Structure 1
C-alpha cells in the first residue's frame, strides 16, 4: 500500500514538474511586446473567428464551379392499363415505365466565372482576416507602449517621492536651526501627498492596461504579466521615407488588398450577369420499359428561353453599380490609408525629436538647475518654492522623455498596421 502511495506521489510530482515550465513561461509573457504578439497569434478569438470565416468562404469555390447534381425521373404510364385493372405502382404491370437521367448544364463559361468570383471572395476574406490580425497586433503594441509609459512614470514618481522625503528632512533641519520657515516643511509634505495621489491614479491606469492586454491575449483579466522591460528600437529615418512606404502600403495593406479582390469579383460578377443573356441547357437520356422488357430509348435536350429582358437588364445595371461602388470604396480606402500613413510618419518624427530634445537639452538643464537650487537653498540664497519648481522641471523633462518614447511606439504600431508587416 505504501508503494502505491509513493508511486502516485511520484507521478503527481512529475506532472507538476512538466507543467511548471509551461505555467512559468505563460506567466513570464509581457517582458517584451514580441512575447505578447506570439502568444496572441494562436489564442486571440477574434483573429481565430476571422480565419475560420476566411476558410469557410474559400470552400465556396468548389461548389460554385461544379455542375448541379443530376436528376433521375421515373414515370409510370397508364397505371390502369386502359381501365382493365386497378391502379398499380408496379413497373411490370403498368402500360409503360419511362426512366430519365438528366443533367443541367449552364452556358459556356458561367461555371468558370462563378468559381472565379468565389475564389476572389475567398482572397478578400483572407485579406480581411490578415487585416484583423494587424489591427489586434497594433492594439497590443499600443497597450504595451502605454503600459510601459505608466510603469516608468510610476517608477519616476516614486523616485521623486523619495527625493521629496530627503528635501523635507533638509527643510526640517533648516527649520530646527532657525534658517527656514515652517512653511517649507509643510510644502514638502503637501508635495508628497500630491505625489501619493498621482501614484494611486497611475496604479489604476496600470491595472486598466494590464486588463486590456489580457483581454487581447484571451486570458483572465487578473492573469499575471511580467513587467515590461524595453521598447522596440525605432527604425532609422531613412527607412521611414514616405514615397517608399506608400508603395509598400499600396501593395501590402490588407484593407486595400481586400478591396482589390472585391473589385475583381465585381468585374467577374458583371461578366456573369451579361452571360445570363444566353440560355442554359438540360440534357437527358433513359429507357422506356414495357412490362418486363426495355424496348425503347430516348434522348432529351431542354433549354430555358431568356425572355425576361427587363429583369436581366436590371441585373446587369446592378452589377455595373456594384463594380462602381467597389472601385469608389477602394479609392476612399486608399486616400484614408495614405493620409494615416503621412500622419503617423509625422508623429513618429515629432516623437523622435521631442525625445532627443528632452534627453539632450531639457533633462541636463533641469538637473543643473535643481543642483544649483538645492545648493542655493542650503546656503539660504533661494527659497523652498524655487527648489520645488526645479524638482518639478526634472520630473517634467523625464516624463516628456518617456512619453515621447511611448508615442513613437504607438506611431510605429500604426504604420506597421497600415503596411501589414513589421518594419
Structure 2
C-alpha cells in the first residue's frame, strides 16, 4: 500500500486531503438521495411529477379582458338579447292580424220548428259559420314594417353604445389595476433604497459619525413605506376584484400581472376627433335611427285618416235545408277626427323631439371630447416635463446627497429628503401617465372606436 501511495522521487500524497475529498463526495451522494432510498447506481422508477398549473394570462392586457367580457358579462348579454328581440319584431310588424271565427246559432229555442231549446250546432233553426279577416288600409303594413326595422337598427346602435360603455369601464378598471401594480413596484424599489440607506446610517452610527436619531429616522421611514405597501396591495386586490366582477368571475379569481400598455400618442387633433364622433359614435347613430322611426310613425299616424277593412265568408246551414254561402265586406268609418288630429300632433312633436335629441347628443359629445382632449394634452405635457427635466434632477440630487452623506458633508435629513423627492417624482410621473391614459380611453369611447 505504501508503494501505491508513493512515487519514486516524489513526496507522499496528503492522506488527510484524500480522506476529506472522499468524505465530501459521500456526503454529497447522501444529500442527493432521500433517506432509505437506493443508491444512485441502481435504476429507480421515478414517480410522475404533477404538472404545475399554468400561470393565468387573463388580465395581462385589455384585449383579453374585452374578449372575455363580450362573452360573459351578464349586462351586455341582456342588452344583446333585447336587440335580437327588436330584430324579431320586424318580421311580425307588418303581418296581417289573425282572422276571427264565429258560430251563430239562429232560433236556438226551435220555436219556428217546434222543437226544444238546444245549443248544439245543426239542431237549431239555422247554424252560421263565419270567418272574418281584418285588412289594414293601403300602405299601413309597409309603414309598420319600416318603423319596426328602424327601431331594430336603433336598438343595434344602442347595443354598440352599451359595448363602448362596458369597454370603457373595463379599461378604467384595468388601468387602476395597472396603476396599483406599478405603485407596488415603485414602493418595493423605494424600500430597497431605504434599506441601503439604513445600512449606511448604521455603519456611520457605529463609527460615531451620526447620532442615534438618524438611525431611528431611517427605520421610521422604512416602517412608513411598509404601511404604504399595505394600502397599495389593498388597492391592487380591489382593482382585481372589480375586474373579475365585470367578467362575472369570482372576486378572488387569479389575474395575470398587467403588462406594459402601448405607447401613448404624442398629440391628438381635436377637430378631427369631433368629426369622427359625429360620424361614428353609436349614440348619434341611435338618435338618427330614432328620427327615422319617429318619421315613419308620423306617416303611419297620418295614414289612419284612411279606413281599414274587413272581409268575411259565412256558411249558412238551416236544419233540413240546403246550405248557402254569404260574403261580407266591412269598412271602418274614420269618424273620431279630434282624437285622430291629436295623435297626429303627438307624432309631429315626437319627431321634433327626436331631432333635438340628436343635436343635444352631438353637442354633449363635442363638449366631452374637448374636456378629455384638454386633460390628455395637459397630462402629456406634464409627463414630458417630469421625464425630461424633473426626474433627472431628482435622481442627480439623490445620488449627490448620498455621496455627500458617505463623506460626511451633509446630514441624514438631506439624504432622506432627496430620496423622498425622487419617490414623489416617480409617483407623479405614474399619475400623469394614468391621467393621460384615462383621457385617451374616454376619447376612444366618444369617437366610437370599437375595441
How does the TM-score come out when normalised to structure 1? 0.90
Q: Secondary structure at the match of 2:409?
A: coil
Find runs of 4+ consecutive structure 1 residues off by over 4 angstroms.
292-295
- Mark the runs of 5 or more structure 2 residues left unpaired by the alignment: 1-47
Does 1:159 find its partner at 2:166? Answer: no
Q: Does the 8 Å CA contact 1:145/1:231 hold for their aligned counterparts?
A: no
For residue 287 of structure 1, what is the aligned residue in structure 2? 315
Q: Secondary structure at the match of 1:59?
A: helix
Q: Secondary structure at the match of 2:138?
A: coil
Does 1:137 find its partner at 2:176? Answer: no
1:14-72 Cα deviation digits (max 9, x unpaired) = xx99xx9xx847x3211111111111111111110100011112211222111101112
For residue 394 of structure 1, what is the aligned residue in structure 2? 422
For residue 5 of structure 1, what is the aligned residue in structure 2? none
Q: Does the 8 Å CA contact 2:83/2:156 hold for their aligned counterparts?
A: yes
Q: Does the 8 Å CA contact 1:148/1:228 hold for their aligned counterparts?
A: yes
Residue correspondence of structure 1 range 343-382 to structure 2 within 5 A: 343-382=371-410
Q: Secondary structure at the match of 1:94?
A: coil
How far did residue 285 of structure 1 move?
2.0
Please identify, of 404-413 and 194-203, the stretch whose mean Cα deviation from structure 2 is larger. 404-413
Q: How many residues align?
A: 402
Residue of 192, 195, 201 corresponding to 1:171:
201
Does 1:312 find its partner at 2:340? Answer: yes
Does 1:146 find its partner at 2:146? Answer: no
1:75-120 Cα deviation digits (max 9, x unpaired) = 2222315151112344444333222221111111111111222111
Q: Secondary structure at the match of 1:319?
A: helix
How far did residue 208 of structure 1 move?
0.9
How far did residue 290 of structure 1 move?
2.8
Does 1:98 find its partner at 2:149? Answer: no
Residue of 114, 137, 145 corresponding to 1:107:
137
Residue correspondence of structure 1 range 236-315 to structure 2 within 5 A: 237=267, 240-291=268-319, 294-315=322-343
Please identify, of 215-224 and 127-136, the stretch whose mean Cα deviation from structure 2 is larger. 127-136
For residue 11 of structure 2, what is the aligned residue in structure 1? none
How far did residue 159 of structure 1 move?
0.9
Please identify, of 89-98 and 100-109, the stretch whose mean Cα deviation from structure 2 is larger. 89-98
1:283-335 Cα deviation digits (max 9, x unpaired) = 11233223366543222111221222221122122212222222222222211
How far did residue 232 of structure 1 move?
2.4
Greater per-residue helix proportion: 1
Does 1:76 find its partner at 2:68? Answer: no
For residue 261 of structure 2, what is the aligned residue in structure 1? 231
Distance in 1 between residues matched to 2:54 and 2:346, nearest whole Å = 58
Distance in 1 between residues matched to 2:140 and 2:282, nearest whole Å = 29
Does 1:409 find its partner at 2:413? Answer: no
How does the TM-score come out when normalised to structure 2? 0.84
Please identify, of 149-158 and 290-299, the stretch whose mean Cα deviation from structure 2 is larger. 290-299
Query: Are the structure 2 counterparts of residues 167 and 289 from structure 1 closer, same or farther at C-alpha, using a change threshold of 3 Å?
Result: same
How far did residue 236 of structure 1 move?
5.1
Structure having greater relative contact order (Cα 8 Å, sep ≥ 6)? 1
Distance in 2 between residues matched to 1:183 and 1:308, nearest whole Å = 96
Distance in 2 between residues matched to 1:422 and 1:40, nearest whole Å = 14
Which structure's CA Rg is the greater one? 2
For residue 18 of structure 2, what is the aligned residue in structure 1? none
Q: Does the 8 Å CA contact 2:87/2:152 hold for their aligned counterparts?
A: yes
Q: Does the 8 Å CA contact 1:260/1:330 hold for their aligned counterparts?
A: yes
- Mark the runs of 5 or more structure 1 residues left unpaired by the alignment: 1-12
Does 1:210 find its partner at 2:240? Answer: yes
Q: Secondary structure at the match of 1:68?
A: coil
Query: Are the structure 2 counterparts of residues 294 and 48 from structure 1 closer, same or farther at C-alpha, using a change threshold of 3 Å?
Result: farther
Distance in 2 between residues matched to 1:292 and 1:404, nearest whole Å = 98
Does 1:49 find its partner at 2:78? Answer: yes
Distance in 2 between residues matched to 1:119 and 1:304, nearest whole Å = 28
How far did residue 370 of structure 1 move?
0.8
Q: Secondary structure at the match of 1:104?
A: strand
Distance in 2 between residues matched to 1:202 and 1:292, nearest whole Å = 96
For residue 321 of structure 1, what is the aligned residue in structure 2? 349
Distance in 1 between residues matched to 2:348 and 2:411, nearest whole Å = 78
